[in-house]
Structure 1
Amino acid sequence: MKLNSRVSSLSERSGIRYFTFIALYFAEGLPMGILFIGIPAWMAMNNKTVTEIGAFDVACAMPWTFKFFIAPMMDRYTFLPMGRKRPWVIICQTGLFLSLLVMASIKDPLNHLSLLIAGGFFVSIFGAAQDAATDGLAVDNIPPEEQARANAFMGGARMIGSSFALALSTWLLERYNFFVSTAAIGIMVGLITLVPILIREHQEERLFPWSEGQATKSNNEIQVNSWIEMYRSLYAAFSLKNAFLLALLLFLSQGSYNYFEKLLPIFAVKVTGWTHIYYSNAFAVADLTGGIAGILLGGWLLERFGMKRMIYIYFSFICAQALLLSFLKLYWTNTTYLYSYIVVYRWVNAFAKIGVFAIAMQCCSKRVSASQFTFYMTIGAVGSMVGAALISPVKNNFSWEISFIFFAIMMVICAINLRALNIEKLEQQIEGLEDCNKIRNE
């Protein structure tokens, strides 16, 4: 009990909440930096084909579509004396750490692409599970008035983690080898696992399984104890028209982003003549500065001017950027132009993601927080996988100019979808469903 009294909980202080989720989303971004950016650029630099790079991208994106299968397990089964989601966060974070060490052990990965693809798939399984658990922890413990700012912190931390891992792993890969590069990221993930181990959800809960403590009354009240009850709650939530529109927005926006961001390293290496190291460093700088800007400004802009208005602006700006890149072929080999382009794009992209994710968190029921938020994120992951899969057929049949115009059209469709979404109505409907469940349980 002496140890428990010295350790703060998520429910007590906003500072503890922000610190915890910044750390966990930073950890989530670490493997993303090497899997989704660093390794594809490295493969392009070593003359791997667009199809081979696309296969790796799809393998890394695919496990993120499986999150909806594990999230209901997290809602249904947990060890309440240690919190609703904290036990799962600890387990998944540990699995992410170990899977990165396993991937690091692959010898000569460029000549054993099947093993490299399998390794990326294995790491992404635990990355997706850690994301589902952390998302559920966030929905359960972040009050509505903090969600826009918290999403800015979380999204910014993930970008900073991704950029940091990208820069560090690329440097280690060039100076040493694949094992050192990947293992270093794994060790960092392992160290961050100490955060959920030492910080509880509520003060009266156990810090460790053998510690003294008990489940909170509030968690006991919202805990779903049957699969029928869970699926009834999920069906009611997702049968709403605006819930469908929100899921569609995540599918379209994440698919669009991943399509474009998988084209960029191939474009930079094969057209502009960059090395994978230079591209990785440029992207790292873009994500680092974009992440910091997201933390400082992302939440404030959403609170000050409104979510939908700001996301419209972001979508419009990204669309204009894509058209500009398509039409200014004369500047494609200009390093300064492309470098500046990537930095500006990643800034605006960070703000847009923060806004859409904040809407998704705001429109979730606490009873099935992991499942509902994960469903939204899974739909986004399916979109990402589809976006990555589009690279090969589009680039093999169309010019770079047309490929970029496709991205601009995608962003226009995202804006039209956002226009049809009624956020306020969806929030009211979710609150009504929770009230009905309380009455039924009484």
Structure 2
Amino acid sequence: MAKETTIKKTRLGRALTDNALTRYITFSALYIAQGIPEGITYFAIPAWLAMNGKSAMEIAAYVGVIGIPWSFKIIIAPLMDRFTLLAMGRKRPWVIFGQLGLIISFLIIGFVPDPLNNLSALMTAGFFISFFGAFQDVATDGMAVDVIPENEQARANGLMWGTKTIGISSSLIIGTWLINNFGFSTAISSLSIAVATIMLFPIYFRERPGEKTMPWTNGKVSPDSKQTQLKSWKQIFRSLYKVVRLKSSLVFAFGIFAVGLMFGLIDTLLPIFSIQELGWTNSSFSNVFSITTVVGGFLGMFIGGYLVDYFGKIKMLSVYLSFLTILIAVFASLNNLWSNNIIIYAFILSYYTLYTFLCIAMFASAMHLCWKTVAATQFTLYMALSNMGRAAGAAMLGVLKTNFNWEIVFLVIALMPVIMVILIQFINFKKHRVAVDSFVILKHTVVAPHVIKD
């Protein structure tokens, strides 16, 4: 009877560490919450600006500014590793705080007066959406590294990135329709309802059994959380330095920055290219983008993680990056067929499917390289480098387009994944894990005498 009760609690419990399904649902919901503001700020608004005659330089400046906070994640992450309401979990209090800030800042952008002629205010409001989006992202990723077992990481990342893509696509198509039919303010503010609803997930579910749901409820600190939590800045930065200086960490960091450049260039390019070069409307762009990225998201959810588990991270990273290079280079050479919508649809569908698969493989690789002791900070360092690349790529587009034609711009973009393909051949996950495990053994060896003495 006691055994049956334990199994029942595991199946129906509210603790993320106890139940795989609970983990998958919670992290998928949190990634949808990240996708909603991203779909509006990175795609719907640039497409709307392009349709209203704003230049590539102006739109690139807007995207570059809202991308800056994602580079701040490396400052936020150590705070989360150092401070928390430990009785509520190591990262869950920060997830709730970030989600709350995201809701408030999402509402504020709806009150920007005359946004088409007030780009500085639009940039400022978008900056704060990105700031709290980055905040929630850091906390969510740190919590994921803490509670998702290694054998579930690729599958979980498939679901997380697939649902994020669906969140981006859904918010883009719905947001564009609302902007065109009800105006900018109503459209942006109304979508905050969906973000607020998702906040119920981190409020309801705990990281570990016995923890508090909220500060004023009953519960206590989990022994696992207490053991892992670092208590000084010196410990955090010394631990981070030890793991980041390993060869595989350094190589991956340079590679992920190069791929970030590609992401930033393509994301900023597509609404401008399709609307100002091909003559689409913002509704046409949002429909095509949403449909193709949802397809990519579903494929990523159901087979992206499986492929990484089955064939291995390095092999699948190499395959995805190689395909992306070929795809972008071939598209650049087919400029005489750009008037054919089928070619454009095929390119966007292929790119965002490969993009989703690549993100799944990159995030699973980043998680595998992390040391749980400084998981939020280390994982965020990788993501900050990727986002620095995105922001730099967005800013680069204005310069590239001013000086070169679209064919050359696409060929420059095709070089970015080549850099990462070369770099990742020098990554060895097994040697890296052996080194990280030795840190853990050393840490316990050092701590043990104090435990005995006490």
Bin the TM-score by the shorter chain: over 0.9
Deviation sequence 1:331-366 (CA, Å, 0-9, x none): 111112201210111111110111011100111111
Q: 1:163–1:285: 8 Å Cα contact kept in structure 2?
A: yes
**Distance in 2 between residues matched to 1:187 and 1:107, nearest whole Å:** 21
* Paired position in structure 1 for 2:103: 97
Provide the secondary structure at the position in 2 that maps to 1:286. Answer: helix
* Paired position in structure 2 for 1:430: 436
Deviation sequence 1:202-252 (CA, Å, 0-9, x none): 111111212111001111111100111111101111111211111112111
Per-residue deviation at 1:23?
0.3
| Pick aligned residue for 1:285 from 291, 301, 316 | 291
**Distance in 1 between residues matched to 2:235 and 2:423, nearest whole Å:** 31
Residue identity matched to 2:390: S
* Paired position in structure 1 for 2:36: 30
Unpaired segments of 5 or more residues in structure 2? 1-8, 449-454
Residue identity matched to 1:181: A
How many residues were matched structurally? 439
Provide the secondary structure at the position in 2 that maps to 1:9. Answer: coil
**Distance in 2 between residues matched to 1:165 and 1:439, nearest whole Å:** 51
* Paired position in structure 2 for 1:83: 89
* Paired position in structure 2 for 1:209: 215
Per-residue deviation at 1:7?
5.2
**Distance in 2 between residues matched to 1:231 and 1:221, nearest whole Å:** 18
Deviation sequence 1:416-441 (CA, Å, 0-9, x none): 11122222222222222222222222
Residue identity matched to 2:128: F
Unpaired segments of 5 or more residues in structure 1? none
Matches within 5 A, 1:404-423: 404-423=410-429
**Distance in 2 between residues matched to 1:53 and 1:435, nearest whole Å:** 51
* Paired position in structure 1 for 2:5: none
**Distance in 1 between residues matched to 2:58 and 2:106, nearest whole Å:** 21
Matches within 5 A, 1:44-83: 44-83=50-89
1:307 aligns with 2:313: yes
**Distance in 1 between residues matched to 2:388 and 2:435, nearest whole Å:** 26
Alignment root-mean-square deviation, CA: 1.3
**Distance in 1 between residues matched to 2:223 and 2:13, nearest whole Å:** 20
Per-residue deviation at 1:180?
1.5
* Paired position in structure 1 for 2:451: none
1:190 aligns with 2:175: no
Residue identity matched to 2:352: R
**Distance in 2 between residues matched to 1:240 and 1:7, nearest whole Å:** 38
Provide the secondary structure at the position in 1 that maps to 2:425. Answer: helix
**Distance in 1 between residues matched to 2:430 and 2:185, nearest whole Å:** 49
* Paired position in structure 2 for 1:111: 117
**Distance in 2 between residues matched to 1:303 and 1:181, nearest whole Å:** 40
Q: 2:209–2:222: 8 Å Cα contact kept in structure 1?
A: no
**What TM-score, normalized to structure 1?**
0.97
Runs of 4+ in 1 over 3 A off after TM superposition: 4-7
Per-residue deviation at 1:397?
0.8
Provide the secondary structure at the position in 1 that maps to 2:210. Answer: coil
Q: 2:57–2:398: 8 Å Cα contact kept in structure 1?
A: yes
| Pick aligned residue for 2:364 from 343, 358, 361 | 358
Deviation sequence 1:241-296 (CA, Å, 0-9, x none): 21111111211112112112211221111221111111111111122111111100
Residue identity matched to 1:293: L
Residue identity matched to 2:274: A
**Distance in 1 between residues matched to 2:296 and 2:158, nearest whole Å:** 11
**What TM-score, normalized to structure 2?**
0.95
**Distance in 2 between residues matched to 1:11 and 1:214, nearest whole Å:** 16
Provide the secondary structure at the position in 2 that maps to 1:420. Answer: coil
| Pick aligned residue for 2:245 from 239, 248, 265 | 239
**Distance in 2 between residues matched to 1:382 and 1:46, nearest whole Å:** 28
Residue identity matched to 2:95: V
